[in-house]
Structure 1
Amino acid sequence: MCQLLGMNANTPTDVMFSFTGLATRAHEHKDGFGIAFFEDRGVRLFVDHYGARQSPVAELLQRCPIRSRNVIAHIRKATQGRIALENTHPFMRELWGRYWVFAHNGDLKQFEPRLHGAFRPVGDTDSERAFCWLMQELAKAHASVPALPELTRTLSELVPQLNAQGSFNFLLSNGQALWAHGSTRLFWLQRRHPFRPTRLRDEDLTVDFAQLTTPQDRVAVIATEPLTADEEWTAFEPGELRLFIDGAPA
């Protein structure tokens, strides 16, 4: 299965400590990687069909970290769709004048929804088909951009239909907030004052967040597997959908 990483914060934040932990696992997930950083209404999206350990794009990001309030990253272990750039997560579409970014971990068996209008897949993954279907159904449900709680209610009605097709762990953001859904395996934590040193589980790297933050900072991190060895990660319940705003669960 692929690996997901999401971050939602109340101030632009460097995600590269967590991304380093994610990239360490790329020897088992070598079929591509991608990461998206929201900046207001804009998105910096980097994808490569090479694994995060071999990709020069990943090396560039390590040298030039980007701060963002909403980040979605993915390392791929292909189950459906060939290894190619168009099949590399995260995927991006426009809806209601905003970019939406999506990444998926799982396997939707024989999922071939009816798609029309603006939302059609470019590649041949079940993940991109699911994303296009979600965007299509959101657009059908709301004539204009709804409030975040209303969006969450609509997603909570749509997601079980995808969950019934197989395993469907995903991250979704429009730059205002981040939604995370745990079908089989997903974890989250919140970092807030008082901050302290934290060590990665898969890499000999420690960061003292107290030296890099202010007492007002809040950061929520979501991952397929806990990335650190000395923090308390909370597992999603099967089928649980969570909304994160300003570094906290809503």
Structure 2
Amino acid sequence: MCQLLGLNCATPTDATFSFTGFRERGGNTDHHADGWGIAFFEGKGLRLFLDHESAAQSPMAQFLQAYPLKSRNIVAHVRKATVGEVALENAHPFVRELWGRQWVFAHNGDLKDYEPKLHSHFRPVGTTDSERAFCWLMQELHKSHAGLPSVRELTATLRELIPQVTRFGNFNFLLSNGEALWAHCSTNLHWLVRQHPFALATLKDCDWTVDFATMNQPGDRAAVIVTTPLTSNEQWTAFQPNELKVFVDGLPLE
């Protein structure tokens, strides 16, 4: 199985602290060593980094720790291959264009015998069940709306579409278009919001503690979504099975 990391922020924020702990799970503290990727939205633009090597040993991952990029929406993934060979085209996150926006998707889980009917516009490049599911979601969103709908409308449509995928297996995923971050849990996903008054945080996967009060302003805020909690001294909330949450400006949208 794979692991997911997402950040949705009120102001542009770097993922250095979270990514440092998360990266260790790509081959050091866990066995997700079959590729990794991370996507940073910058307005309508997108910086995407992918590698079929393990995140723990990747020079590119090391570079990103030394050269932090700031974004309001970040999606990262470390892979344990189940469906599809270890190859660059099978590394998450995957990206597609819809309604003049970039969409980013990363998945954790197995979908058995999942072969949805796909039209010509959204087709997988690699061989994973994850990319097929992403293409199908994009196809059905396109069919459901003539143009870019509101975040709430998109959330309502996703709630209708997701059960058509989950009947094939586990469908933990992160999805973002740079405006919001959607997170769906089939089995295992956790979240928290870091905001004023900021406090200390200590990573589980390596020896690093930071005082966010010295690094942030009162208006800063970040929602962090991850498969299993990254820190040992913060209060993480577990998603319920089959729960879909959407985050905007660093907060869950009710």
- Per the TM superposition, whether the score is higher than 0.5 is yes
CA–CA separation in structure 2 for the residues paired with 1:54 and 1:231: 27
Query: Match for residue 22 of structure 2?
Result: 22
Q: 1:54: Cα distance to partner?
A: 1.4
Are 1:233 and 2:251 counterparts? no
Residue 171 of structure 2 aligns to a residue whose secondary structure is strand
Which range moved further: 99-108 or 47-56? 47-56
The one-letter code matched in structure 1 to 2:140 is E
CA–CA separation in structure 2 for the residues paired with 1:78 and 1:154: 29
CA–CA separation in structure 2 for the residues paired with 1:20 and 1:242: 25
- Report matched runs for 1:1-250 at 5 Å: 1-27=1-27, 28-250=31-253
Residue 57 of structure 1 aligns to a residue whose secondary structure is helix
CA–CA separation in structure 2 for the residues paired with 1:198 and 1:244: 21
CA–CA separation in structure 2 for the residues paired with 1:222 and 1:12: 16
Which range moved further: 238-247 or 21-30? 21-30
Q: 1:117: Cα distance to partner?
A: 2.4
CA–CA separation in structure 2 for the residues paired with 1:199 and 1:54: 22
CA–CA separation in structure 2 for the residues paired with 1:114 and 1:12: 38
Deviations 1:82-117 (Å, cap 9, x if unpaired)? 000000000000000000000000000010000012
Q: 1:57: Cα distance to partner?
A: 1.0
The one-letter code matched in structure 1 to 2:65 is Q
The one-letter code matched in structure 2 to 1:120 is R
Q: 1:59: Cα distance to partner?
A: 1.2
Q: 1:17: Cα distance to partner?
A: 0.5
The one-letter code matched in structure 2 to 1:20 is T
Deviations 1:191-227 (Å, cap 9, x if unpaired)? 1100011100111101110011011111000000000
Deviations 1:134-183 (Å, cap 9, x if unpaired)? 00000000011101100000000001111111000000000001000000
What is the RMSD of the two structures over their aligned residues, measured on CA atoms? 0.5
Q: How many residues align?
A: 250
Which range moved further: 48-57 or 121-130? 48-57
CA–CA separation in structure 2 for the residues paired with 1:22 and 1:63: 15
CA–CA separation in structure 2 for the residues paired with 1:20 and 1:49: 18
Residue 19 of structure 2 aligns to a residue whose secondary structure is helix
CA–CA separation in structure 2 for the residues paired with 1:244 and 1:140: 24
Structure 2 residues not aligned, in runs of 5+: none
Deviations 1:5-24 (Å, cap 9, x if unpaired)? 00000000011100111111
The one-letter code matched in structure 1 to 2:23 is A
Residue 74 of structure 2 aligns to a residue whose secondary structure is strand
Q: 1:41: Cα distance to partner?
A: 0.2
Residue 161 of structure 1 aligns to a residue whose secondary structure is helix
CA–CA separation in structure 1 for the residues paired with 2:205 and 2:86: 25
Extract structure 1 runs of 4+ deviating beyond 6 A: none
Q: TM-score, normalised by structure 2?
A: 0.98
